[in-house]
Amino acid sequence: MEFETNSKDKERKKLEEIDPVVEAKNISVWYGEEKALENIGLKVPKNNVTAIIGPSGCGKSTFLRCINRMNDLIEGAKVEGKIVYKDKNLYDPDIDVASLRRKIGMVFQKPNPFPKSVYENIAYGPKIGGMNDKEELDEIVEESLKDAALWDEVKNRLHSPAMDLSGGQQQRLCIARALAVEPDVLLMDEPASALDPIAMSKIEDLIYDLKQDYTVIIVTHNMQQAARVSDYTAFLFMGKLIEHSPTEKLFENPDKKKTEDYITGRFG
Amino acid sequence: MSEGRKSYSESLEEVKKDVLEMASLTEKGICSSVEALENYDEELVQHIYNVEDESNKLNLEVEKECMRLVALQQPVAKDLRFIATMMKISDNFERICDLAEKIGKIAQKKGKKDPLKPLVDTNRMIDIICEMLEIVKEAIEQEDTSDLRGLSDLDDKVDDLFSQIYNELIVFMVKDPKDVDEATDLVFVARYLERSADLVAKIASRLVYMVEGERVQIK
């Protein structure tokens, strides 16, 4: 009798083997009395895309906002635990939150360009950071727009209002704007959900390309999108991390029944 | 045609029913094939051909339905493994029906003449294959893998019987060259049966993947 199990060595690195760029340790969040996240521990691997999925209200966006301390801006929000980035807890009192948000940038569901020109949208961050050299700014604008796969579409109208761009272009402009300040990590909260399928597919291609140089964490309602763009997927449910696995594993053979029920649409 | 999640589950059940029907057809086809070889009966041979024809059609239906579910429902996790498995094993059942048809053709060629030798070991092979098919049918029905590992032993037995038949028939050929043609046909029959058992073992491997998510090889 022969009964062989094939090895799975060729699969993506196991999470316990990775060196994370960002690591959440026992993160809990309260909005007033209500606990939104409970003891989340999650390692985010460098130069990979990590997707966070889960039903509405499960704490996905709350978790994303913990990573660059956007929850600080929400009244009544309280965060416990650590977010470790470059050996520092981002919740230490000596952290400069403004420069943290440059290193860990964010893109939101709805494109939110400034009511300025395409050029000014990108140059804004570097200028705030003290850069005034026109040539250098031109270079940053061009590079950022190229990285966001928008350059060819806007190079002849850099000084036109950003608001004149299509929704998909505006979203890529917001991504370019985040890239202009040379972040390590990009947080994306439903970045393609307000876009049509063509614009969505461009954003997805872009996310795939961006991981060469950046680490991306994306929150999405769209499970197929998570499956398409991410290397690792975390499933949150009612404020708890249920499962965090390589994406192929999670969508082909999840460990937890709750994950299986959610992704197959058999919840409740 | 669009469907909600409830009828999606019903569609998956329908696919399972069709594949179980494929399994039953396969059992009928392969068992009848050796029977036709032993006691030639034109109607029985026609029955084997009909079974093969039906299995082609049903296999295509299973494929169509699975592709439709993949396109419209984007199955993941267990559903995805189920659909991929059903497509694959339905194909394997259909291939066994093809082999039964080939045996039917040999039976037709031989006609009512007595076989070169009593088909004792060939019948043993058929008994084991039917036992294997019963086990996989039960596993499909219950989505339970507990008996599937045992198929490896049964497949080994079929392999041994094939070697035995082969050696025996070589002796026949050496003894009297006039028997070469008929002996070769019987070697082919044994080979087709040995191949059928391999295919049932492959089906079992896929069922383990479907239920447990692990890729294994039962052979």
CATH number at residue A63: 3.40.50.300
Domain range spanning residue A50?
Answer: 15-263
- Does the beta-carbon distance from A223 to B76 stay under 8 Å? yes
Helix (H) or strand (E) holding B67: helix B42-73
Contact B192, B162 (CB under 8 A): no
- Name the residue among B5, B80, B217 with its Cβ closest to that of A4: B217
| pLDDT surpassing 90 at residue A14 | no
> Helix %, strand %, coil % for chain B, to 5?
85, 0, 15
CA dihedral sign of residues B2, B3, B8, B12: negative
Measure the N-to-C terminal CA separation of chain A; round to a whole number of Å.
43
Lowest mean pLDDT among A7-16, A188-197, B32-41, B204-213: A7-16
Q: What's the CA gap between A228 and A205, in Å, rounded?
A: 10
| pLDDT surpassing 60 at residue A9 | no
CA of residue A257 relative to chain centroid, distance: 26
DSSP-assigned states of every residue in A48-62: SEEEEE-STTSSHHH
| pLDDT surpassing 50 at residue A1 | no
Beta bridge partners of A186: A105, A216
Q: Is residue A268 one of the residues assigned to a domain?
A: no
Report which of A38, A45, A39, A36 is spatially closest to residue A16, judged by C-alpha positions: A45
- Does the beta-carbon distance from B81 to A1 stay under 8 Å? no
Please give the residue of chain A at the shortest CA–CA distance from B84.
A252
CA distance to partner chain B, nearest, from residue A83 (Å): 31
- For an interface test with A, give the residue of B6, B78, B159 to mutate (most A CBs within 10 A): B78
Share of chain A above pLDDT 70, in %: 95
Measure the N-to-C terminal CA separation of chain B; round to a whole number of Å.
40
**pLDDT at residue number A13:** 73
Please tell me whether the overall predicted TM-score, pTM, comes out greater than 0.90 for this model: no
Structure tokens at B110: 């031989």
Structure tokens at A184: 């390590």
**pLDDT at residue number A8:** 45
DSSP-assigned states of every residue in B84-104: HHHHHHHHHHHHHHHHHHHHH
**pLDDT at residue number A165:** 96
Q: Is residue A160 one of the residues assigned to a domain?
A: yes
Phi, psi torsion values for A106, nearest 5 degrees: -140, 140
CA distance to partner chain A, nearest, from residue B69 (Å): 13
| pLDDT surpassing 60 at residue A2 | no
**pLDDT at residue number A7:** 44
**pLDDT at residue number B4:** 65
Report which of B147, B142, B160, B145 is spatially closest to residue B197, judged by C-alpha positions: B160
Q: Which residues in chain B touch residue A253, judged by CB atoms under 8 angstroms apart?
A: 77, 81, 213-214
Helix (H) or strand (E) holding B83: helix B77-110
Domain count of chain A?
A: 1
- Name the residue among A3, A259, A263 with its Cβ closest to that of B218: A3
Q: Residue range A189-206: average pLDDT? A: 90
Residue type for A190, please?
A: E
Q: Is residue A115 one of the residues assigned to a domain?
A: yes
Q: Is residue A241 one of the residues assigned to a domain?
A: yes
Mean pLDDT per 10-residue run, chain B (219 residues)? 71 97 97 94 96 98 96 92 98 98 96 92 97 98 95 97 97 94 97 98 97 92
Q: Is residue A2 one of the residues assigned to a domain?
A: no
Mean predicted lDDT score pLDDT of chain A: 92
DSSP annotation of A14: P
**pLDDT at residue number A268:** 56
Q: Is residue A173 one of the residues assigned to a domain?
A: yes
**pLDDT at residue number B6:** 67
Contact B18, B89 (CB under 8 A): no
| pLDDT surpassing 60 at residue A3 | no
Beta bridge partners of A23: A43, A84
Q: Is residue A159 one of the residues assigned to a domain?
A: yes
Model ipTM? 0.79
pLDDT digits over A96-147, tens only? 999 999 999 999 999 999 999 999 999 999 999 899 999 999 999 999 999 9
Structure tokens at B46: 């026609």
Q: Is residue A10 one of the residues assigned to a domain?
A: no
**What length does chain B have?**
219
